[in-house]
Amino acid sequence: MDDRKMIKEIQNGRKEYLNLLAEKYYDDIYRFCCYQTGNPDLSYDLAQETFLRFIRYVDNYRYKNLKGYLLTIARNVCFDYFTGEAVSHRHLTFTPLEKSAPENPAIRWADSSGIQDDLLGAVIREERSRQLVQALMKLPDIQREVIVLHSLYGLKHREIAQITGTSTSTVKSRMKQGMDKLKRTLRKEDFYG
């Protein structure tokens, strides 16, 4: 069943479909909150609050991009948390997201004495991913936000503008400035080497 049908069912009182929607989008919302806060533990609470707000206002939802709608709520929840708590992102310690990856058949053991190149490549990719996330967390919030929404969620500039309440040109500007800073940071940390 697609999102539109599930929303109609929820609006008609069939609340069991809320669990299906939450299961479908929870990981995306949680990851977005992690990128906004840099704190995986806090992000669980913020993701939960995002879905609670969605439930509260589900009757007002008008069948557009549900993922974008949820990301907008998550953005507001994160903003509310930081303005309410008077916490700065820069004071948080970042713990990289640890996600249990499914076993990759391309990664094999050569023999009992060593690691095959595929495994070493996976380790290097994981370390580079960690460096990338840490560099991303150093960006100003407004730049990190547009990069995450575009790169990780595949949203178009106009969709990001709608979520952030800005113009498309502002989104493009923040994207360019953020990507330039990200590249400089990664060069300093020898990411490309």
Tell me the per-residue pLDDT of 32-75, one tens digit each, with 9 for 90 and over.
998 888 888 999 999 999 999 988 888 887 767 888 889 999 99
Q: Domain 3-90 belongs to what topology?
A: Rna Polymerase Sigma Factor; Chain: A (1.10.1740)
Continuous segment of H or E residues that includes residue 26: helix 16-37
Return the CATH number of the domain spanning residue range 100-188.
1.10.10.10
CA distances from 61 to 3, 12, 66, 73, 142 (A): 12, 13, 9, 12, 26
pLDDT tens digits, one per residue of 89-147: 433 333 334 333 333 333 222 333 344 455 555 656 666 777 778 888 888 989 988 99
- What is the value of pTM for the model shown? 0.61
Q: Where are the domains of the chain?
A: 3-90, 100-188
